[in-house]
Chain A
Amino acid sequence: MSQKITGVKASAGIAIGKAFLLTTPDLQINTVAIEDSESEIQRFQEALARAKNDLEDIVLRVEREMGTDHADIFKAHLLVLEDPELVDTVKDKISNEKTNAESALNDIAQAFIVLFEQMDNEYMRERAADIRDVTKRVLSYLLGVPFAGLGELTEEVIIVADDLTPSDTAQLDRRYVKGFVTDIGGRTSHSAIMARSLEIPAVVGTQGITRAVQPATLVILDGHEGIAIIDPSEEEIAVYKRKQADYEAQKAELAKLVNDKTVTLDNHHVELAANIGSPEDVAGAIANGAEGVGLFRTEFLYMGRNDFPTEEEQYVAYKHVLEHMGDRPVVIRTLDIGGDKHLSYLALPEEMNPFLGHRAIRLCLDNQELFRTQLRALLRASVHGNLKIMFPMIATLEEFRQAKAILEEEKKSLVNRGIVVSDQYEVGIMIEIPAAALMADQFAREVDFFSIGTNDLIQYTMAADRMNEKVAYLYQPYHPAVLRLLHNVIKAGHAQNKWVGMCGEMAGDPIAIPILLGLGLDEFSMSAGSILPARQQLSRLRVEDAAKQIDTILQMSTSAQVEAFVKEWLERV
């Protein structure tokens, strides 16, 4: 009988293979009195040197196979091995207490591990695992026990382990390791991140897989569903082989599109961009073929800290994103807090209706120092790429004019101080308030672009809080009321030769994409993972056909009608 075990989806894909149980080598430490402390210290130094050698090899291999960033952790391990607080203290202990090297090292390392494990910062707690990992490596040399067995694999396996340490993952040979499943860990644990970057399926945090599996038992791993099937039936194997083949074929098909432009069957180009929340997200955007960044949410810079970020910190973050995107456009949205987003160091009064309250541009125009600091950082960063500045929650033209005037003032004062500011950046607004959508023709004369934020636009149009489950049924992206607003905004933008984008969830939705294409949307910004599927979908559509459907769609009376119509239309093409 097969057995199904559920865990956390850590990395997508399907693997079928024999279980390889990775057990920790037996590092039994006995405290032994020694006579010759000199030669014991010598023995410790030799074990250190061999561990260092290993790590240096690993750094080189990881840099070559996975990139410099992934090697950083092993460089940190090397620093631990060279740490005088560790090395000298162990030596002192050996000579003062006449104790063996294993026991001295283990005691000192444990003290550090406990210290780090007690810290209230998750990052620091993870460093305890690093110290443990490094210590094990040296101990295994001292004890003459081989360190892990992953280097000696000769057949395709699925690794089953309590957890995988960074050293384990670095030794994974992709020829043989088809996937892994662990007892502990979450989506952001080291092993999960590594699995995604190696693109091998993984399920973590099963809390018990090591006890349920015998070595060499057949295991099916489904990284999409986060399950492992132990000792599967013939039927299960057949089903998953088919799923595996489908997934691989689809992935290969999508991967071909990474460097392509997004072009429809009738040769119409639209831009597919990524929504990002931190500078580090740029790498994922590029890896998924983003033609730009359509929304960089700057809130992250302000959150999880005790004070406002300085102009310099912001400048560094914006510059990073702009430089990495090169010529590709980067839309950076100015601070959008208030509503459901709060800062611990900025006291905001309780509001009856926070989503209709003092948030985003409204708050920035009232707290000008905060706003001006961000604008200066943006202006200074403008020389490093293709910058587009976007103001959120604009309801009236006066708000836009005031925000733009402040931007101009800051630009002038920077230029007067001899600081270079680009002349090429654009200034636009996010359309998320129905008033702005209806007045788009007036805005279009003064802005450089529109980006439609559908998440808020839909909730304001339908007067339905998207967080409230009881009214969730009113959150209807395909409702003709919403579509008519989109139509109005895009038409108004184009009449003044301004480009129009969209940065809400809707832009990556396969049902919405054909409608948006027909409406003439120029830029679709979505989470990075949706870009390639969207590019594939668009390559099978014709803008001419899509445009012809728009009149019909806009005359429909319900969301359900629109959805059914689009589904049927998609089946025809």
Chain B
Amino acid sequence: MVEKKIVVQLAQGLHARPAANFVKVATTFSSEIKIIKNEKNVNGKSIMGIMAAAIGKGEEITLITDGADEQEAMTALEKALTEQE
């Protein structure tokens, strides 16, 4: 299991297109992906879960990846949270 605190840098937060992009990247890995915001647990492969969590720019979340490709998943997803497409 890999765990990391990340500050979301996307201009519009994790809404709409960035959320879809995040899920697209997340589903390419076999590891379980979790986002924790204010002690709420969100499935990182769920577009509705992520959008419902309404994660804005500058918010700090904890990203957890757990599985065979957890390292690669962490690197790719951190990028998706901090770099504009």
The answer for the CA separation of A76 and B43 in the assembled complex, in Å, is 17
A123 touches B16 (CB 8 A): yes
A119 touches B54 (CB 8 A): yes
Contacts of A86 in B (CB 8 A): 46, 48
B84 to A, closest residue via Cβ: A316
B45 touches A84 (CB 8 A): yes
Contacts of B67 in A (CB 8 A): none
Cβ proximity bits B10-25 to A, threshold 8 Å, 1 near / 0 not: 0100011100100110
Cβ proximity bits A82-104 to B, threshold 8 Å, 1 near / 0 not: 11111000000000000000000
Tell me whether B51 is interfacial, beta carbon within 8 Å.
Answer: yes
Tell me the smallest distance from the CB of B75 to a CB of chain A, in Å: 21
The answer for the CA separation of A72 and B51 in the assembled complex, in Å, is 16
Contacts of B24 in A (CB 8 A): 79
Contacts of B15 in A (CB 8 A): 123-124
Tell me the smallest distance from the CB of B69 to a CB of chain A, in Å: 17
B46 to A, closest residue via Cβ: A85
B10 to A, closest residue via Cβ: A313
Chain A contact residues, majority secondary structure: helix
Cβ proximity bits A49-80 to B, threshold 8 Å, 1 near / 0 not: 00000000000000000000000100110011
Interface residues on B, range: 10 to 19
Contacts of B48 in A (CB 8 A): 80, 83, 85-86, 112, 116, 131
Contacts of B54 in A (CB 8 A): 119, 121, 124
Tell me whether A127 is interfacial, beta carbon within 8 Å.
Answer: yes
Tell me the smallest distance from the CB of B12 to a CB of chain A, in Å: 9
CB-contact partner of B46 in A84, A131, A313, under 8 A: A84
B20 touches A85 (CB 8 A): no
B 1-56 contacts with A by CB, 8 A = 11, 15-17, 20, 23-24, 27, 43, 45-49, 51-52, 54
CB-contact partner of A112 in B43, B52, B84, under 8 A: B52
Tell me the smallest distance from the CB of B84 to a CB of chain A, in Å: 6
Contacts of A309 in B (CB 8 A): 11
The answer for the CA separation of A85 and B45 in the assembled complex, in Å, is 8
Tell me the smallest distance from the CB of A135 to a CB of chain B, in Å: 11
Tell me the smallest distance from the CB of B14 to a CB of chain A, in Å: 12
Contacts of A75 in B (CB 8 A): 20
Tell me whether A115 is interfacial, beta carbon within 8 Å.
Answer: yes
B 45-85 contacts with A by CB, 8 A = 45-49, 51-52, 54, 58, 84
Tell me the smallest distance from the CB of A298 to a CB of chain B, in Å: 14
Tell me whether A307 is interfacial, beta carbon within 8 Å.
Answer: yes
Tell me the smallest distance from the CB of B23 to a CB of chain A, in Å: 6
Query: What's the count of A-B pairs with C-beta under 8 Å?
Result: 50
Cβ proximity bits A118-154 to B, threshold 8 Å, 1 near / 0 not: 0101011001000100000000000000000000000
Tell me the smallest distance from the CB of A490 to a CB of chain B, in Å: 39
**By CB atoms of chain B within 10 A, which of A82, A116, A121 has the most?**
A82
The answer for the CA separation of A307 and B43 in the assembled complex, in Å, is 29
Tell me the smallest distance from the CB of A129 to a CB of chain B, in Å: 13
Tell me the smallest distance from the CB of B8 to a CB of chain A, in Å: 13
The answer for the CA separation of A556 and B60 in the assembled complex, in Å, is 65
Contacts of B45 in A (CB 8 A): 83-84
Tell me the smallest distance from the CB of B85 to a CB of chain A, in Å: 10
Tell me the smallest distance from the CB of A91 to a CB of chain B, in Å: 14
The answer for the CA separation of A86 and B51 in the assembled complex, in Å, is 13
Contacts of A85 in B (CB 8 A): 43, 46, 48-49
Contacts of B17 in A (CB 8 A): 72
A82 touches B27 (CB 8 A): yes
Tell me the smallest distance from the CB of B10 to a CB of chain A, in Å: 10
The answer for the CA separation of A131 and B51 in the assembled complex, in Å, is 12
Tell me the smallest distance from the CB of A373 to a CB of chain B, in Å: 15
A79 touches B23 (CB 8 A): yes
Contacts of A123 in B (CB 8 A): 15-16
B11 touches A83 (CB 8 A): no
Tell me the smallest distance from the CB of A409 to a CB of chain B, in Å: 27
Tell me the smallest distance from the CB of B80 to a CB of chain A, in Å: 14
Cβ proximity bits A259-300 to B, threshold 8 Å, 1 near / 0 not: 000000000000000000000000000000000000000000
The answer for the CA separation of A80 and B47 in the assembled complex, in Å, is 6
The answer for the CA separation of A84 and B45 in the assembled complex, in Å, is 7
Known: A79-B47, A85-B46. A115 touches B52 (CB 8 A): yes
**By CB atoms of chain A within 10 A, which of B11, B17, B58 has the most?**
B11
B20 touches A83 (CB 8 A): no
A312 to B, closest residue via Cβ: B84
A-B contact pairs, 8 of them (CB 8 A): A79-B24, A83-B23, A112-B52, A116-B48, A116-B52, A121-B54, A123-B15, A131-B48
The 7 A-B pairs of least Cβ separation, nearest first, read: A85-B46, A79-B47, A85-B49, A83-B46, A313-B11, A83-B47, A83-B48
Extra inter-chain contacts (5) besides given A82-B27, A123-B16, CB under 8 Å: A79-B47, A83-B46, A123-B15, A124-B54, A312-B84
